[in-house]
A and B are shown apart, each in its own frame.
Chain A
Amino acid sequence: MKGKVRRKILHRIFIAICLFIALAPIYWMLNTSLKSEAEIYLKVPTMWPKAPTLEAYRYLLTETNFLNGIKNSLIVAGFVSLFSIFVAYPAAYVLARMTFKGKRFFSKTVLFTYLLPTSVLYIPLYIFVAKLGLTNTIWGIMLIYPTFTLPYVAWILIPHIASISTALEEAAYIDGCSKFQTMYRIIFPLALPGIISTTIFAFAMCWGEYLYALVNLVSKEVQTFPLILSGLIFGDMPPWNQLMAGAILASVPILVIYLLASSSLVGGATAGGVKE
């Protein structure tokens, strides 16, 4: 049993290292967000502020549209990620499970949306939104965000679905289920862990998006929070403490969502499925 204990300790140390690497820069953000402007520019940086202050947070929450921006971002990211799952899950399903005419072409087309970078597409997409009269509304960006989430969702779900035993579908078919019912009633729940993690990532993709939001959302009331934060920067010296405070606050919703969803990620997909 000694080997087991040693392995356990090594494992814990490794996790600790991972956490350190992931969180150290974030610690620095937190550190900066609690400092006064002058302390930030000191020649020798301090690991913990000499005179910690919540001034940056106070300013951000009371004198800018930050909270409203967070609300807008939540709406956009929530809607788009859910929409993406509903629209792209069928694509992943048919690509993983079925053979049909034009399958290769279909699969490639879904990914063609990534051919041109957002820094090129933002102009024609803006023109498109303008033609629909949706500029300066969150509906406008909700309309174009799926362009970068859909391909991702569709493709990432393929291996998750492919790994579910086909025996289930065959059994369902014998039982008389239609393809549609099989897709949603049987496979969807089993693929749930993958679906949930994918949804969260799609959410995160929308959460921090900047360029499309920038050109489409002009008024403060409809802006998402990255725009509010970049709006704090004028001139050559950005207000570091406010920016970092915004970043810290903005990571809270994501953390919460992830923690809540985590519980359903535990457990294997084949549990209660087919006896092997």
Chain B
Amino acid sequence: MSRKTRQMAALFTAAATLAATAGTSWGAALETTEAAKTASGDKEVTVWVEKVFSDDANALMEERLKAYGEEKGVTVNYEMVAASDFITMLNAAIEAGTNVPDVVSMDTTKVLNYYPNIPAMDVSELVNEINTERPYFEASYEGTKIGGVHYYVPYYSSSCMMFVRKDKLEEKGLELPTTWDEVFEVAQAVSNPDEDFYGLGMGCGEIDDDDENTLRQMTWNEGGYLLDAEGTITCDSEAVVNSVNKYAELYKAGAIPADATTWDAGGNNGSYLAERTAIVFNAPTLYNALQADEYKELFENTVVLAPPAGSDNSVFMNFNRGFSIMNTCEDVETASDVIKYLCDKEWYDSYLETIAPVFAPLFQDSMENPTWTEDAVNSEVLKYVQNASGYYGYPVETIEGRAVAAKHYFTMPMDKAFNQVATEVTSAESALENMKYDLEDFMDQIG
């Protein structure tokens, strides 16, 4: 009938004109991929790398991947993906079962969150190969195993350092704190809420993953564990209750900023840069931020230290990251090859240099690398990495326990509990009672 054909014709012309305009750029891109494919034979590998904060580093990584493709005659489809989008995109791909990349950036928590349907392959063999050539630090090698197996090749680690306004401490004649109790004392001593200055910049906002980690570390340093080694829930133990109450005490005493309960991950360092707080715990990205011209004075008044020890232990949270090969990968040999290529000592060292001190290397030979031993901050960061054997659910050893802790982590439970008690919504006992209920729910799910 003429009416339908007319409609169709109109649609087709519109589509065709648009396609023509669209055709130019991505049509060209398609062409080159086609050409590249035929030229290099049939080998193809897809790599998704999570972007890091440094544009230069990301560019280096891109170049390296391109170089691999050229050198080995393989088509490398790489994408540099922003961290916030990464999981959403990966999940959609996993669910659809198509277009799942071969090699992805991965870390322990991400792997555990998928348990028991871990989409990554067991790469223990590959890790051992690399380890034989270039030994890892023990904490890094052992700490990245999950259930005795490696699901990703450890590549580098972030850290969480303590940034201190040494000038404020000097004013009051205080020594730099080395234990949590000392930190609390110092914080209260230098606080001046009327002038909008607070000693401790530790927040507990709903989406503050920075402080979620710090609160955990602080709590287990004092002997407060969410799970014990066998996997029994101990989040309502006295030690944990004490930690929560101590924080609330400091909050009410004005040693912690009032808005800390609303911070996102950028809140604590934001407060430090705005000169409102004396001590914050943050990744070394803050150190980089301080090097801008506008912060010259603040930078001179800052000292970067490893976190304090607790009365029970001084275990630090590990932030190891690396690369996984997904289960759906068809060409495991090439994928492994790509990862090995990225671990090549010379290139690796130069890459890590561009992202120091935010990320630290995991190989023992970095102890002989002057970049890491001679710089004050870099050496503190390396020291951190060597002592980072903590993880979500520390000290639980069963894989179920670790999976529960990892999934639980994503709900930011420490933030929530500390928040509720500090803002006097509920008591520590009942907040932790709720946490127990949530943990039990996750245990139900897993097992």
Contacts and interface: CB of A to CB of B under 8 A. Distances in A.
A and B in direct contact, judged by CB atoms within 8 A: yes
B25 interface: yes
Interface stretch (B242-250, B268-276, B319-327, B396-404): B268-276
A136 B51 contact: no
Task: Indicate the member of B84, B210, B270, B283 with the most A CB atoms within 10 Å.
Answer: B84
A25 interface: no
Interface string B110-154: 000000000000000000000000000000000000000000000
A104 interface: no
Interface in A208-238: 211, 214-215, 218-222, 227, 230-238
B217 interface: no
Interface in B56-106: 79, 81-85, 88-89, 91-93, 95-99
Given A38-B294, A221-B29, A43 B289 contact: no
Given A37-B292, A215-B89, 10 more contacts: A41-B270, A82-B14, A123-B96, A127-B97, A130-B97, A135-B96, A215-B92, A218-B79, A230-B85, A237-B269
Contact of A123 (B10, B53, B95, B99): B95
A130 B270 contact: no
Contacts of B269: 236-237
Contacts of B276: 43
A47 to B, nearest CB: 18
Contacts of A148: none
Given A75-B21, A234-B53, A138 B26 contact: yes
Question: What are the 4 closest A-B residue pairs judged by CB atoms, nearest first?
Answer: A38-B294, A236-B265, A236-B266, A215-B92
19 contacts: A41-B274, A42-B274, A63-B55, A68-B25, A79-B14, A83-B11, A130-B96, A135-B98, A135-B99, A178-B3, A221-B26, A222-B26, A227-B85, A234-B84, A236-B210, A236-B269, A237-B266, A237-B285, A237-B289
Given A43-B275, A231-B51, A38 B292 contact: yes
Contacts of A36: 294
Given A79-B18, A86-B10, A237 B95 contact: no
Contact of B51 (A38, A71, A72, A234): A234
A66 B217 CA distance: 40
Interface residues of B, number: 50
A180 interface: yes
B15 interface: yes
A82 B12 CA distance: 12
Contacts of A236: 210, 264-266, 269, 285
A180 B274 CA distance: 67
A214 B51 contact: no
B88 A130 contact: no
Interface of B: 3, 7, 10-11, 14-15, 18, 21-22, 25-26, 29, 48, 51-53, 55, 79, 81-85, 88-89, 91-93, 95-99, 210, 264-266, 269-270, 273-276, 283, 285, 289, 292-295
A194 interface: no
Nearest to A82: B14
A122 interface: yes
Contact of B95 (A127, A178, A231, A233): A127
Contacts of B7: 86
Contacts of B295: 38
Contacts of B21: 75
Contacts of A37: 292
Interface of A: 36-39, 41-43, 63, 68, 71-72, 75, 78-79, 82-83, 86, 122-123, 126-127, 130-131, 135-138, 178, 180, 211, 214-215, 218-222, 227, 230-238
Contacts of A218: 48, 79, 81, 89, 99
Contacts of A138: 22, 26
B88 A215 contact: yes
A80 B198 CA distance: 53
B55 to A, nearest CB: 8
Contact of B53 (A122, A135, A235): A235
B99 A234 contact: no
Contact of B3 (A83, A180, A211, A227): A180
Nearest to B22: A75
Given A233-B82, A236-B266, A237-B266, A126 B95 contact: yes
Contacts of B25: 68, 71, 221
B412 to A, nearest CB: 14
A199 B71 CA distance: 51
A123 B14 contact: no
A239 to B, nearest CB: 10
A231 B85 contact: yes
A38 B91 CA distance: 36
Nearest to B18: A79
B107 to A, nearest CB: 15
A21 B182 CA distance: 50
Contacts of B11: 83, 86
Nearest to B48: A218
Contacts of B273: 41
Contacts of A43: 274-276
Task: Indicate the member of B96, B283, B293 with the most A CB atoms within 10 Å.
Answer: B96
B92 to A, nearest CB: 4
Contacts of B22: 72, 75, 138
B420 to A, nearest CB: 23
Contacts of A238: 266
A234 B52 contact: yes
